[in-house]
Structure 1
Amino acid sequence: MKADIDEMAEYFSQISFDILDAHRTVVEPGKKQLDTYTAPASGLVFPLRGRARMTFDGVTYEMEPGRVFHAGPRMTLDKEVVGDTEWEFILVHYQVSDSDKHVFPHSSSHYELEPGYNPHISELLKKFHHTSTMSGSLQSLRAKSLFFTIMDEVLTCYGKRRNEDSRELVEQAMEYMNAHYMEPLTMPSLAELYGLSSKQLAYLFQKYAGMSPNAYLIEQRVNHARELLCTTACSVTEVSAYVGYSDPYYFSKLFKKRTGVCPSTLQRCFEKNTG
């Protein structure tokens, strides 16, 4: 599943945990292991190159650079290297204190983050791996500090990527409404096209367009109706139907509310001025 950035930031900023180990592993193409289990501790997989397919408790993830994966302890695990190149990754195991396990259940969950490929994260990971293999309290402190820096970078990039994707989704929804405004569109059906709930679509529209999706649709319909009233001989009833409203009385009320003038009045004024 996809992780929520705010929940992840809260989780890693507030839990008490110890980094147990960090392994950098290279696996040959075609290698497969089925019916195994994850470690007794929580783990984060940072792909460096190649591709692999891992299934945690029946849920499959396609692993490749630009993505980060989390798995809880003692989960069923199937794994397979995909393609004809080696699969290289860094696996970090960490242990959450017993008091935090119930407050922050993310330690026992599987999920993915998608920050996108970032050379800076790769360099930080290599430095972190090298530091974590060295003994001593100071080195442990440095390793934990690097881990926080890595997670900060991952979550920051993930947040920017999600914002870009969300903005693009809103732009696509607007284009769809521009092309289908004359059809009987509903917000639930529109949201479903993009795999969202009506509430999620409304939130994204308000964030990136400054209005609700329904308000945007009405704006498009009214603009097209105004153009038709001023450039054609269509009746108000015909214009109403053309822009997606089967009830011309409702259309007239809506049009006047948005423009300050009744559609029939606008039409007469235009005919008078051009007659």
Structure 2
Amino acid sequence: MEVDLNVLTEQWMGNSFSVKSVVRIIKGPRELSTSYETTCPSFTFTVRGSGELRLNQHAYELLPGKVIHSNAGMRLKAWNTGDEEFECYRVLYLPEARESHKDNCMYKHYELEIGFNPQIFSTLDKMNNISHRGDIPSGFQVKVLVYDLLGKMFAAARSLRTSEHRTIVEDSVAYLHLHFQEPHSLFSLASRYQLSPKYFAEIFYKDMGISPINYLINYRMKFAEKLLLTTNASIREIGRSVGYADPYQFSKMFKKHMGVAPSEFKSSALSSSG
């Protein structure tokens, strides 16, 4: 499931934290890293190569263009799954809140797609170099750079999602046009794209100005309107042809969206043409 970027950004604006360390890790082909229990949250940015990160029973791919956030108290195991060197940066931090909150991003594990972004790698390299100095001014500089990093990271993820979401919405519209006679639910539509129903509804509405289910109903009603005007099919037959086995439900839905019952609509159309 995708994490909500608006919620994530808002929480980071209100969260207090201190940077524990910034480390650069290089592993040889198929090399296994040490397995341990995490004591603080962290971000992992893959620079090159491919690997796998396991947090308890949850597995994440380590690839350039992906960021993995892990929380404290998890069994972490990571290794290079490729035949070339693997390189990544890890930014470890400590939340300053005394108690964890289940809905707070600092206490969750998740993945963000950010695409290839040299500016982010440059910021990480600078953070890594400065953090090794170990003095107070350097610590302040690193924290400033963390905010810069988060800004670039969220902007990249948002830009990538905008493009991906447009593709998802276009695909879902085409799918509904081809399968409008079949039963659909918000859950089944969202599941096609491995999104939560709420998130899928949000991106669909943002792009189309209407909810997915209402879009489907409107499309069905327009098709039914065409059949009422151009065929001698019964109300029951037309209802079935647009996905309603129950003629009463079809008539009720048609009247709700078109303002008149199907029979009245047909009679009115015939009178006007006569």
TM-score (norm 1): 0.83
Relative to structure 1, the CA distance from residue 4 to residue 100 in structure 2 (aligned partners, 3 Å threshold; closer, same or farther) is: farther
Relative to structure 1, the CA distance from residue 64 to residue 236 in structure 2 (aligned partners, 3 Å threshold; closer, same or farther) is: same
Residues 55 and 61 in structure 1, CA contact (< 8 A), matched pair in contact too? yes
Letter in 2 for 1:124: T
Residues 101 and 107 in structure 2, CA contact (< 8 A), matched pair in contact too? no
Letter in 2 for 1:81: N
1:31 aligns to 2:31 (yes or no): yes
Shift of residue 148 of structure 1? Answer: 0.9
Relative to structure 1, the CA distance from residue 13 to residue 273 in structure 2 (aligned partners, 3 Å threshold; closer, same or farther) is: closer
User: What is the alpha-carbon distance in structure 2 between the residues aligned to residue 28 and residue 90 of structure 1?
Assistant: 15
Shift of residue 199 of structure 1? Answer: 4.2
1:13 aligns to 2:13 (yes or no): yes
Shift of residue 157 of structure 1? Answer: 1.9
Q: What is the root-mean-square deviation of aligned Cα atoms in Å?
A: 2.9
Percent identity, aligned pairs only, is: 32
User: What is the alpha-carbon distance in structure 1 between the residues aligned to residue 195 and residue 39 of structure 2?
Assistant: 36
Shift of residue 123 of structure 1? Answer: 1.8
User: What is the alpha-carbon distance in structure 2 between the residues aligned to residue 230 and residue 223 of structure 1?
Assistant: 11
Residues 15 and 100 in structure 1, CA contact (< 8 A), matched pair in contact too? no
Relative to structure 1, the CA distance from residue 100 to residue 155 in structure 2 (aligned partners, 3 Å threshold; closer, same or farther) is: farther
Residues 45 and 89 in structure 1, CA contact (< 8 A), matched pair in contact too? yes
User: What is the alpha-carbon distance in structure 1 between the residues aligned to residue 234 and residue 40 of structure 2?
Assistant: 71
Relative to structure 1, the CA distance from residue 67 to residue 193 in structure 2 (aligned partners, 3 Å threshold; closer, same or farther) is: closer
Secondary structure of the corresponding residue to residue 30 of structure 2:
coil
Query: What is the match of residue 154 of structure 1?
Result: 153
User: What is the alpha-carbon distance in structure 2 between the residues aligned to residue 162 and residue 103 of structure 1?
Assistant: 27
Secondary structure of the corresponding residue to residue 112 of structure 1:
strand
Shift of residue 173 of structure 1? Answer: 2.5
Shift of residue 116 of structure 1? Answer: 2.0
User: What is the alpha-carbon distance in structure 2 between the residues aligned to residue 114 and residue 271 of structure 1?
Assistant: 56
Query: What is the match of residue 70 of structure 1?
Result: 69
User: What is the alpha-carbon distance in structure 2 between the residues aligned to residue 263 and residue 3 of structure 1?
Assistant: 43
Shift of residue 203 of structure 1? Answer: 3.5
Residues 38 and 72 in structure 1, CA contact (< 8 A), matched pair in contact too? no
1:111 aligns to 2:110 (yes or no): yes
Relative to structure 1, the CA distance from residue 52 to residue 221 in structure 2 (aligned partners, 3 Å threshold; closer, same or farther) is: same
Residues 38 and 75 in structure 2, CA contact (< 8 A), matched pair in contact too? no
Residues 29 and 86 in structure 1, CA contact (< 8 A), matched pair in contact too? yes
Query: What is the match of residue 49 of structure 1?
Result: 48
Secondary structure of the corresponding residue to residue 32 of structure 1:
coil
Shift of residue 222 of structure 1? Answer: 1.2
Secondary structure of the corresponding residue to residue 245 of structure 2:
coil
Shift of residue 49 of structure 1? Answer: 0.8
Residues 37 and 74 in structure 1, CA contact (< 8 A), matched pair in contact too? no
User: What is the alpha-carbon distance in structure 2 between the residues aligned to residue 72 and residue 126 of structure 1?
Assistant: 23
Query: What is the match of residue 100 of structure 2?
Result: 102
Q: Which shifted more, 184-193 or 121-130?
A: 184-193
Residues 228 and 239 in structure 1, CA contact (< 8 A), matched pair in contact too? yes
Query: What is the match of residue 247 of structure 2?
Result: 248
Shift of residue 71 of structure 1? Answer: 2.5
Q: 1:238-262: CA deviations, max 9, x gaps?
A: 2222112223344334334433444
Q: Which runs of 5+ in 1 are unaligned?
A: none
Relative to structure 1, the CA distance from residue 101 to residue 88 in structure 2 (aligned partners, 3 Å threshold; closer, same or farther) is: farther
User: What is the alpha-carbon distance in structure 2 between the residues aligned to residue 168 and residue 27 of structure 1?
Assistant: 36
Shift of residue 145 of structure 1? Answer: 0.9
Relative to structure 1, the CA distance from residue 3 to residue 194 in structure 2 (aligned partners, 3 Å threshold; closer, same or farther) is: closer
Q: Which shifted more, 85-94 or 64-73?
A: 64-73
Residues 81 and 87 in structure 1, CA contact (< 8 A), matched pair in contact too? yes
Relative to structure 1, the CA distance from residue 188 to residue 235 in structure 2 (aligned partners, 3 Å threshold; closer, same or farther) is: same
Q: 1:4-50: CA deviations, max 9, x gaps?
A: 4344334433333322322222211111146x215544322111111
Letter in 2 for 1:111: Y
Secondary structure of the corresponding residue to residue 130 of structure 2:
helix
Equivalenced residue count is: 273
Query: What is the match of residue 138 of structure 1?
Result: 137
User: What is the alpha-carbon distance in structure 1 between the residues aligned to residue 82 and residue 146 of structure 2?
Assistant: 30
User: What is the alpha-carbon distance in structure 2 between the residues aligned to residue 109 and residue 254 of structure 1?
Assistant: 42
Relative to structure 1, the CA distance from residue 40 to residue 263 in structure 2 (aligned partners, 3 Å threshold; closer, same or farther) is: closer
Letter in 2 for 1:205: F
